[in-house]
Amino acid sequence: MRATLSRPAFDGIVEHARREQPRECCGLLVGHTAAVVQILEAVPARNLAEDPNRFFLDPVDHIRTRREARNRGLDVVGYYHSHPHSPARPSARDLAEATYVDALYLIVSLATTPALVCVYELADGAFIEVPTQLDE
């Protein structure tokens, strides 16, 4: 699998992560599923987790975003969250809580300057990094 990430989606994810730090942020990735998955938009969601080092995506935001995407002929192609103080690599908790095998998982790290974004897919119980091109 390969993916493309639009510049507005990238910028929106980084801005959301910075706005929420030191808490983790979370949201949904909207676009098209094809041979190359297109991530066109990042839709912020409320993080309902009380622990600032975790995220729990608000189910109301999740369902609303799915409906709105479908009504525009788009798909929810994945999810994103931030690691304000650690690398853009999935943690053991990220793996344990990942449930969508057909989705992309984007992690943005604010531990470096500039922020680093990595995209993963879930396969055979593990995360595999997905080659991702930033579309300017």
Q: What is the mean pLDDT of each run of 10 residues along the chain (136 residues)?
A: 97 98 98 95 98 96 98 98 97 94 96 96 95 94
Distance CA 39, CA 11 (A): 12
What is the model's pLDDT at position 136? 81
User: Strand ranges (DSSP E) for the chain?
Assistant: 2-6, 26-32, 36-45, 75-83, 104-109, 116-123, 126-129, 132-135
Domains of the chain: 2-135 (3.40.140.10)
Given a contact cutoff of 8 angstroms between Cβ atoms, the answer to whether 130 and 117 are in contact is no
Structure tokens at 133: 């091109």
Distance CA 9, CA 38 (A): 11
What is the model's pLDDT at position 84? 97
CA angle 72/99/111 to nearest 5° reads 85
What is the model's pLDDT at position 58? 98
Is the pTM for the entire model greater than 0.95? yes
Structure tokens at 18: 């910075």
Distance CA 75, CA 41 (A): 10
Structure tokens at 76: 């929810």
CA angle 39/42/43 to nearest 5° reads 140
